[in-house]
Structure 1
Amino acid sequence: MKMKIRKNILKIVATGIATGLAFSVSCWSVAASDSTNEAKAEETQEYDALQKIFLEINKETTEDKLLKLIEEHSVEYTAEEYNGTPKSRNYNIAFDSDVVLQKYAESGDSLEVSFNKEDGTILYAEYFNEASFRNALYYNYGTYWDFREDELDNTYTGYYYYKPGDTKGGITMKYDNGNSKETGYHSVSRGEEALTLN
């Protein structure tokens, strides 16, 4: 009798182990399949010229590099200097000449890129998609709405997405004076995410 019970217990344990292994392999296959599908989705994502320019922008981007990208993608642009903090040169880039105007522009997909006028470093790049009414942002430093960092490559340097007017649900900005503010900016690790989660 004891022998029968022991055999049954061994069968149950063996069945449990086999079931557990089968379940683990199955879960791993599903996870691997999901990762593969995500990678394929990123590979098949097609970007328009403005989005391609946005994806080329990082903290090393210069005005010369931006002008080459504008020429390469055959898009319209205007450039104007502003007396902000720091003083800047802003490029408005779009498919249509009425959309690139610095003032009184028509509505449409656009990309604004701002550089420090003194040393040429990039301050930020903001892509606006009219159809989704969403923005993708690369922020480096300087004053940009709720962002107010003086140093390059700071805590907030990176990519974000947001909907204009949203002031909740994103990161909380912490300022040098001890104040903090919740924002609608959602931090992401890459430009592609800022565009696709947009």
Structure 2
Amino acid sequence: MLKRLSDLVIASMGLLLLWPLFLFIALAIRLNSPGPALYKQERVSRDGKIFKMYKFRTMPVDTEKETGPVWATSDDQRSTPLGSFLRRSSLDELPQLLNVLEGSMSFIGPRPERPYFVNQFQQQILHYDDRHQVKAGMTGLAQIKGLRGDTSIEKRVEHDLFYIENWSLALDFKIVFCSFWVILQDFIEKKAY
């Protein structure tokens, strides 16, 4: 109950304060490449439930139509120039505040993956499914430990499970503040993609 209340406060404040930035990014995407500014993708969250996660579109429309799901890497050439900037700065993730507001995601929790990759990880990684005991999050302990993008899924799972087992409001606040610092550092060092 307390976590949901904090999610509602953070998402509401974020949307209220950032709506001009949302409009600016949406307009820039529309001017940069044809297609919608927002992108919805199926992801897996609590209890294995599939939901539609919102993001700002960073690639041309139908990029994976012929290839199927492809894991993003640091040398991924599929992003538009604006999309690369949005990914590096994590601004592409801002629409997930809508997911938090509607209750399909939490602000803090294990990052959700696509069903295609979840099926693979369930078979390859011990206790992978345990991370679905809680709602997926916009950011989490694994992310502030540098495990974003093409990094060890096993290490992410370790951090996700530690978070689940040791959850507290204080830990959530620590992750929130550290997330902003990590995003800024990654952007400056061009680590995120």
TM-score over 0.5 for the pair: no
Higher helix share: 2
Higher strand share: 1
Higher RCO (C-alpha under 8 Å, 6+ residues apart): 2
TM-score interval, normalised by the smaller of the two chains? 0.3 to 0.5
Tell which structure's C-alpha radius of gyration is larger.
1
